[in-house]
Amino acid sequence: MILKGKVWKFGDDISTDHIAPGRYFHLRTNLPELAKHVLEDAREDFASKVEKGDIIVAGRNFGLGSSREHAPRIIKLAGVAAIIAKSFARIFYRNAVNIGLPLIEIKEADEIDEGDVLEIDLANGIVKNTTKGKEYKFVPMPKFMLDVINEGGIENYISKYGDYKI
C-alpha cells in the first residue's frame, strides 16, 4: 500500500488531551462531531483545514496520556492517512494499529516541513519526500499488524481471519 499526502507539522509530546480534550467528551458518542475539535489544543486551525489523505509529522512521544481510543479514531476520521513521528506513546500505537491508522517511526522527522508531499510504502518501509527529493527507511510493522492496517482495523481483520495470526 502506497500512501501519498501533504504534511502537517506538530511538535514533541502531543498528548491525547491535545487530540481529544476532556471538555468535549460530551461528544464521545458522536465521533464525527468530536473530530471537528481534533488536535484543537495543539493547533486551532487544524480540524477545519485538514484534507483527506494528509499526513501528520510530529516529534517525540506522539499520543502520550490516556488510553482513549477516540484520539486515533478522530484523527483517522478527519482524513489523516498516516502519522510519522520520532516516537509514539505505547497505548496510542496499539490503538492506531487496532483501528487501521498507520504509524511510522523515523528519526529524521525534523527534516520534513509543513506542506511537503510524502509517499509512504508501508510494506517496504520507505518514506519519500517528493518535495525535497529525500528518502528515509523505517522498520516495517510485523505482518499481522500490516494485515490489520490493510483490513482497516481489528474488527474487519477478525471477521476475515477468525483469530489473531501472529
Partner 1 sequence: MGMTITEKILSEKTGHKVRVGEYILIEVDIALANDITAPLAIDEFYKTGIKKVYNPEQIVLVPDHFVPNKDILSAMQVKKIRKFAKEQNIEKFFELGRMGIEHVLLPEQGIVKSRDIVVGADSHTCTYGALGAFSTGVGSTDIAGVYMMGKAWFKVPEVIDVYIKGNFRKYVSGKDFILKLISILGVSGANYKVLEFRGPGIENISMDSRFTISNMAIEAGGKAGIFPVDDLTIEYERERGIKVEKLTADEDASYMRRIEFDLNELEPQVAFPFLPSNSKGISETEKEKIKIDQIVIGSCTNGRMEDLRAAAMILKGKKISRNVRCIIIPGSQQVYKNAIREGLFDIFVNAECAVSTPTCGPCLGGHMGVLAEGEVALSTTNRNFVGRMGHVKSKVYLSSPVVAAASAIKGYIANPENL
Interatomic CA distance for residues 125 and 122, integer angstroms: 5
65 binds partner 1, rule: CB under 8 A: yes
129 binds partner 1, rule: CB under 8 A: no
Residue 99 Cβ, how far from partner 1 at the closest point, in Å?
6
Angle between helices 90-99 and 70-77 (to 10 degrees): 50
Q: What DSSP string describes 10-33?
A: --S--BHHHHS-GGGGGGTT-HHH
Interatomic CA distance for residues 21 and 15, integer angstroms: 9
Q: Contact, 89 vs 64, CB < 8 A? A: yes
Among 11, 23, 32, 137, binds partner 1 (CB under 8 A): 23
Q: Which is nearer to partner 1, 4 or 43 (CB)?
A: 43
SS3 call for 143: helix
Among 45, 51, 114, 155, binds partner 1 (CB under 8 A): 155
Residue 130 Cβ, how far from partner 1 at the closest point, in Å?
30
| 50 grid coordinates | 485538514
Q: Which is nearer to partner 1, 103 or 118 (CB)?
A: 103
User: For binding to partner 1 (CB under 8 A), which residues are involved?
Assistant: 13, 15, 17-18, 21-23, 25-26, 28-29, 41, 60-61, 64-70, 87, 89-91, 94-95, 98-99, 142, 144, 153-155, 158-159, 163-164, 166
